[in-house]
Amino acid sequence: MKLTLLYLAATVSLLAQVGLAVKQEDFKTSEQVAFYRRHRAFADGVGKESQLLGKSTGASQTASPYSVLQDSVYLDGHTLVASVQHGADKVPLKLNVSFLDKGIVRIRGQEADPLKARFDDTQKL
């Protein structure tokens, strides 16, 4: 019994040291992430509206700042491709909706013309 308590105390001590060893200043907070800042107000508005509406079936009065460009929608095999645009900054985004096996759907949104290409490992799947 004493040996078990000793192991437990040692484990708790090591975990506490590991937790304290992490430098919090090396990680961004939510407020420092641009995506979070841009969409926080919209998400708060949707949350408040859904609380006010409760379980009613009324139409939503909160509109998304994004819109699909109708001329850009096409089907490429099992993938629906469209261009999406933000109302304020007009930066085009490429939206891919892939329909995979067993009813799985993958939704990906990327910049249409990024300054630097992002790593994409999905082609290996």
pTM for the full predicted model? 0.52
The CA-based angle 91-95-101, given to 5 degrees, is 170
Separation CA 43–CA 62 (nearest Å): 10
Tens of pLDDT, residue by residue over 56-101, are: 444 455 677 788 999 999 998 999 999 998 877 788 889 999 998 8
Tens of pLDDT, residue by residue over 24-54, are: 788 888 777 877 877 777 777 776 655 555 5
pLDDT at 36: 80
DSSP letter string over 4-57? HHHHHHHHHHHHHHHHHHS-GGGS--GGG-HHHHHHHHHHHHHHHHHHHHTT--
Separation CA 60–CA 57 (nearest Å): 9
Q: Higher pLDDT residue, 104 or 63? A: 104
pLDDT at 82: 94
